[in-house]
Amino acid sequence: MSALEANLAKLDGFLARFRKTGILNRIGGEDRAGQGGTFASISPVDKSVICDVARGSAEDIDAAAKAAHEAFAAWRDMAATERRKILIRVAEAIEDRAEEIALCECWDTGQTWRFMSKAALRGAENFRYFADQVVAARDGQHLRSPTLMNVTTRVPLGPVGVITPWNTPFMLSTWKIAPALAAGCTVVHKPAEASPLTARLLVEIAEAAGLPPGVLNTVNGFGEEAGKALTEHPLIKAIAFVGESRTGSIITRQGADTLKRMHLELGGKNPVIVFDDADLEQALDAVIFMIYSINGERCTSSSRLLVQDTIREAFEAKLVERVDNIRVGHPLDPATEIGPLVSEEHFNKVTGYYDIAREEGATIAAGGMTVGDEGYFVRPTLFTGANNAMRIAREEIFGPVLTSIPFSSEEEALAIANDTPYGLTGYVWTNDLTRAIRFTDRLEAGMIWVNSENVRHLPTPFGGVKASGIGRDGGDWSFEFYMEQKNIAFATGRHKIMQLGTQ
């Protein structure tokens, strides 16, 4: 039996229960059908229906918000050491079921086994990391004034909403949910309609590991229905959102009447800048990895290659050779490097850029074609001869598509890099130290890597500037969002208080 066949056989076993019962909402520790009926979850691998999914409505969100509200006081007041233990058990249970999570994720989203087997473990790592922060989360400062002793502390906000997209959905959900739970908040999670499977596994795993009912609730459904109701619900104190920039503006408006605190992790059109003095072999590996891994469906992908004109021709030639060699195939085959795009809608969006590139006068140097018609497969694509005014350089394509743009000087590279509505990440390749310092200082991005691909370190701040988002995750920054700062001032004596109405 090949590795692919073995994975398919295991997957079949894991999917059997979904086929039988569909995916229900999980509210207050109970399974509930969606008040809006159901919708079908489709696999992008062969366009088959995986199962029916509850279509959550405003009533379902209301029930989930009430369940999260009721569960809040006990979760908030639980001893931090106890809460820590539960979160560690969740991490362990994720590790125990990592294979099931990864296989379901691949089938649901088209992501490859090669990358998703690690993503499930990164989900466990998110729980473990934030579990370890729990005990100190409420600690504050002691700030004395002449008459008062000020004590600061942090308290959890209350029930919060987490709205996640379909790209690496399990890892991203844990990235938001783990710190919220560690902070002492309860959660209503609205996963993306295109990828409901592993959100269901997460809530099941967490409850089995000891998370009390109602602390994490999952309501499936569409953004304009369940998602909108969540952002408008008065019991929900904040929304942690990951998705498109346009959706970020919409939900900010939706949350305005209830004064929701918002954390937005949005889109990107991230530049990778390759200077001619760089380690070009290493840069080539990173450029390829950062746009063609995870099907290019990655917010931090470097989708604009800015390459110095002195090395452009040779660098692009090597790029084409490697890109043409990338293996597109079944996501459960461990040899596959790129699987199908997540959905028909997204497939149409990404492939639409092939024509746009041609119309704009760019060259399709690699790819630019679909693969078979069984699923939503595409060849990895490279556009050359582009400039930064073209749509292929300005719009987030969110697929395995790289646009190469030449530059001649450092000043020009910086101007092109910053000439974008987005500002999530930037990648700079140079061996000139002072240039790296100068350049990164002026590059408009929330996260920058110099001579490296994106390597995530959980204590560091994660987030974007401009249209790429508002707020930061990671380390203590996550707690800043999910907790409220509180200052309590104690008089240290009987200081003079101004008297009114005594004359």
Q: Catalytic residue numbers?
A: 265, 299
- Among the listed ranges 2-10, 224-232, 285-293, 367-375, the one in contact with ligand NAD (CB under 6 A) is 224-232
* Identity of the residue, 4 or 356, whose beta carbon is nearer to ligand NAD in the bound complex: 356
What secondary structure does DSSP assign to 466-498, as a single string? GGGEES-BSHHHHHHHHEEEEEEEEESS-----
- Among the listed ranges 5-13, 227-235, 402-410, 447-455, the one in contact with ligand NAD (CB under 6 A) is 227-235
| Cα–Cα distance measured from residue 101 to residue 113, given in angstroms and rounded to the nearest whole number | 11
State the minimum distance, in angstroms, from the CB of residue 200 to ligand NAD: 14
* Identity of the residue, 226 or 365, whose beta carbon is nearer to ligand NAD in the bound complex: 226
Vertex 17 angle, CA 179 and 7, to 5°:
80
The yes or no reply on residue 224 touching ligand NAD (CB under 6 A) is yes
State the minimum distance, in angstroms, from the CB of residue 199 to ligand NAD: 10
State the minimum distance, in angstroms, from the CB of residue 222 to ligand NAD: 6
Among 75, 115, 166, 383, binds ligand NAD (CB under 6 A): 166
- Among the listed ranges 5-13, 65-73, 100-108, 242-250, the one in contact with ligand NAD (CB under 6 A) is 242-250
Helix (H) or strand (E) holding 148: strand 148-156
State the minimum distance, in angstroms, from the CB of residue 376 to ligand NAD: 14
The yes or no reply on residue 471 touching ligand NAD (CB under 6 A) is no
Residues 6 or more apart whose Cβ sits within 8 Å of residue 500: none
3-state SS assignment for residue 39: strand
Q: What is the arrangement of strands in the sheet containing 483-491, beginning at the earlier edge strand? A: 142-144, 148-156, 483-491
- At residue 3, φ and ψ (nearest 5 deg) are -60, -35
* Identity of the residue, 337 or 396, whose beta carbon is nearer to ligand NAD in the bound complex: 396
3-state SS assignment for residue 275: coil
* Identity of the residue, 225 or 316, whose beta carbon is nearer to ligand NAD in the bound complex: 225
* Identity of the residue, 51 or 242, whose beta carbon is nearer to ligand NAD in the bound complex: 242
Tokens of 317: 């030639």
State the minimum distance, in angstroms, from the CB of residue 424 to ligand NAD: 5
Binders of ligand NAD in range 244-263 (CB under 6 A): 244, 247, 250-251, 254
The yes or no reply on residue 223 touching ligand NAD (CB under 6 A) is yes
| Cα–Cα distance measured from residue 455 to residue 463, given in angstroms and rounded to the nearest whole number | 14
* Identity of the residue, 75 or 166, whose beta carbon is nearer to ligand NAD in the bound complex: 166
Among 110, 243, 399, 426, binds ligand NAD (CB under 6 A): 243
* Identity of the residue, 240 or 307, whose beta carbon is nearer to ligand NAD in the bound complex: 240
| Cα–Cα distance measured from residue 56 to residue 43, given in angstroms and rounded to the nearest whole number | 20
Among 83, 228, 263, 304, binds ligand NAD (CB under 6 A): 228
The yes or no reply on residue 56 touching ligand NAD (CB under 6 A) is no
| Cα–Cα distance measured from residue 436 to residue 434, given in angstroms and rounded to the nearest whole number | 5
Task: Supply the DSSP symbol for 135.
Answer: G
Instruction: Identify whether the C-beta of residue 421 lies closer than 8 Å to the C-beta of residue 467.
Output: yes
The yes or no reply on residue 36 touching ligand NAD (CB under 6 A) is no
Give the interface size with ligand NAD as a residue count (CB under 6 A).
33
Among 84, 114, 176, 190, binds ligand NAD (CB under 6 A): 190
Instruction: Identify whether the C-beta of residue 483 lies closer than 8 Å to the C-beta of residue 154.
Output: yes
C-alpha distances in angstroms, 90 versus 124, 130, 204, 208, 458? 7, 11, 10, 8, 18
The yes or no reply on residue 105 touching ligand NAD (CB under 6 A) is no
Binders of ligand NAD in range 408-447 (CB under 6 A): 424
- At residue 401, φ and ψ (nearest 5 deg) are -135, 120
- For strand 425-429 and strand 270-274, is the pairing parallel, antiparallel, or unpaired? parallel
The yes or no reply on residue 237 touching ligand NAD (CB under 6 A) is no
* Identity of the residue, 163 or 188, whose beta carbon is nearer to ligand NAD in the bound complex: 163
CA 140, 143, 149, 152: dihedral to nearest 10 degrees? Answer: -20
Tokens of 358: 């041609």
The yes or no reply on residue 400 touching ligand NAD (CB under 6 A) is no
* Identity of the residue, 179 or 223, whose beta carbon is nearer to ligand NAD in the bound complex: 223
In the block, residue with structure tokens 């979850």? 41
State the minimum distance, in angstroms, from the CB of residue 193 to ligand NAD: 5
State the minimum distance, in angstroms, from the CB of residue 500 to ligand NAD: 49
The yes or no reply on residue 394 touching ligand NAD (CB under 6 A) is no
Evaluate the CA torsion angle 247, 248, 251, 252 in order and state its sign: negative
Site map for ligand NAD, 261-300, x if CB under 6 A? ----xxxx------------------------------x-
| Cα–Cα distance measured from residue 321 to residue 316, given in angstroms and rounded to the nearest whole number | 9
Residue with CB nearest ligand NAD? 223
3-state SS assignment for residue 50: strand
Bridge partners for 186 per DSSP: 159
Spacing of C-alpha 132 from chain mean position: 22
Q: Which residues bind ligand NAD (CB under 6 A)?
A: 163-167, 172, 190, 192-193, 222-224, 227-228, 231, 242-244, 247, 250-251, 254, 265-268, 299, 396, 398, 424, 464, 468-469
